[in-house]
Amino acid sequence: MMAYRRTFTPGGSGRLAVLQRHLSAVPLSGQLTSTVYPTNFCYTLDNNLLTTEQRQFYEENGFLVIKNLVSAVDIERFREEFERLCKKEITVPGLLIMRDVAIAKSEYVPDQKAITKVQNFHEDPELFRYCSLPQIVKYVECFTGPNIMAMHTMLINKPPDAGKKSSRHPMHQDLHYFPFRPSDHIVCAWTAMERIDRSNGCLVVIPGTHKGTLKQHDYPEWEGGVNKMYHGVRDFDLTIPRVHLVMEKGDTVFFHPLLIHGSGMNRTAGFRKAISCHYASADCHYIDVKGTTQENIEKEVVELACKRHGLSGLTLKDTWMIKARLINGERTNL
C-alpha cells in the first residue's frame, strides 16, 4: 500500500489518486513503513493487525478494503444456502425476504428472480457462519474492541435491472437504521461474492463523510419506484465526487456507519451478490430515536413487525435487541 500522509480535500485529484492506489493494492498486516504518522486515532483501536497506513486510510476515508479475505469455498456455500432459501427448501425464523419493486408486482416464481436481499439470517447457521469467520472477526475487533455483537445480517442479490432503475440503492448512511451508539464502535463487513464493478452495480462511497453527522433520510423521488426501506440522504448533492469500489470475489470492505454510500444499477444479465454483517461493540448503548431524524424509519420498522408477527407497542430498540447476537467476548450491554 502506498503512503498517504498528506491532507486531501474531499473529491480532490490527490485524494482520488490515493484512493485508487488503496483499491488496487493488497494490504498486508505485517507491512512495514518508515513514515511517521500521528497516533491520535479516532476511528480505529490499537491492534497488531492493521498497519499504520491502513489505520490512517480508514481514519481519513471511513472505509478499508482487504483483498481476498473470504475463500471461494465459503462463498459457494453461502450461495447454495441462499438458493435453498429462495426455493423454499428451508425456512428460517425471523428471516426477512425483500423483493424488487419493479419485478415482484408483475411476476413471482419461487427462486431468486425477484429477491433483492435476505436480511436477519441470524437463525440460519450456514449464513450466520459468515459473521463469525475468524478472518473477518479479527479485523472487526480493530474497530469495536473484543466484545463484539452481530447486529444486522444481509445477503444482497442485486437483480438485473428491469428497465426502471429500481436495482439502484440511494446514497445513504447505515446509522439511519441503528438505534445504538456510539457510531465509532460500529462497523460493517461487506464481502463480494463475485467480481463487482460498475457494470453490475458496485458500492459507491463518498470518502470522508464518516466525519460528519447523521443526515435526514427519506425515500427518493425516483420515477421507477424505490424498494422498501431504501431510504436515501435528503437533497443529496449529485455533483459530489464519489469512488466506485471495484472488488474481486472474496474481497471485503469494512466501513463506518456514517459513511455515505449506495450502489448503481445492475446492467448485466446476472445477479450481483454480496454478503454482509454490521457489528457493534457490546459496550454500545441503545438510544430513543423519538424526536430525531430516525423517527420515520422507526415507524416503518415497527409497522412491519406488527404486520408480520402481530407485535404491537414495539420501539426501534426492541426490534434490534431481538436480532443482536454475541460473536466474541462478553455481552456487556447491547
203 C-beta neighbours (distance < 10 Å), count: 25
Query: What is the pLDDT, as a whole number, of residue 304?
Result: 82
Determine contact, residues 226/170, Cβ cutoff 8 Å.
yes
Asked, as a colleague might, if the bond just before 182 is cis with ω within 30 of 0, I would say yes
Query: What is the pLDDT, as a whole number, of residue 223?
Result: 56
DSSP letters, 134-159, are HHHHHHHHHHH-SSEEEEEEEEEEEP
d(CA 137, CA 18): 27
Query: What is the pLDDT, as a whole number, of residue 159?
Result: 87
Query: What is the pLDDT, as a whole number, of residue 311?
Result: 75
Q: Could you say which DSSP state residue 302 is in?
A: H
Query: What is the pLDDT, as a whole number, of residue 31?
Result: 35
Domain ranges of the chain: 59-328
Query: What is the pLDDT, as a whole number, of residue 230?
Result: 76
Beta bridge partners of 156: 117, 274
Beta strand 148-158 with 325-328 is antiparallel
Determine contact, residues 254/66, Cβ cutoff 8 Å.
yes
Determine contact, residues 286/173, Cβ cutoff 8 Å.
no
> How far, CA to CA in Å, does 136 sit from each of 129, 225, 227, 305?
11, 35, 29, 30
Cα torsion through 168, 173, 176, 178, rounded to 10: 110
Query: Residue 306: which H helix or E strand, with range?
Result: helix 295-309
Query: Residue 295: which H helix or E strand, with range?
Result: helix 295-309
Average pLDDT of adjacent 10-residue blocks, the chain of 334 residues: 36 53 46 46 97 97 98 98 92 86 46 77 97 98 98 94 74 96 98 97 97 92 63 87 96 98 93 97 97 94 82 89 96 95
CATH of 59-328, one of 2.60.120.620, 3.40.640.10, 2.160.20.10, 1.10.3720.10: 2.60.120.620
SS3 content of the chain, % helix, strand, coil (to 5): 30, 20, 50
Determine contact, residues 136/69, Cβ cutoff 8 Å.
yes
> How far, CA to CA in Å, does 225 sit from each of 24, 46, 112, 320?
35, 44, 20, 27
Beta bridge partners of 169: 263
Q: Is the C-alpha dihedral spanning 114, 257, 148, 312 positive or negative?
A: negative
Q: Where do runs of H (alpha helix) occur along the chain?
A: 13-24, 52-61, 72-86, 101-104, 125-128, 134-144, 295-309, 316-323
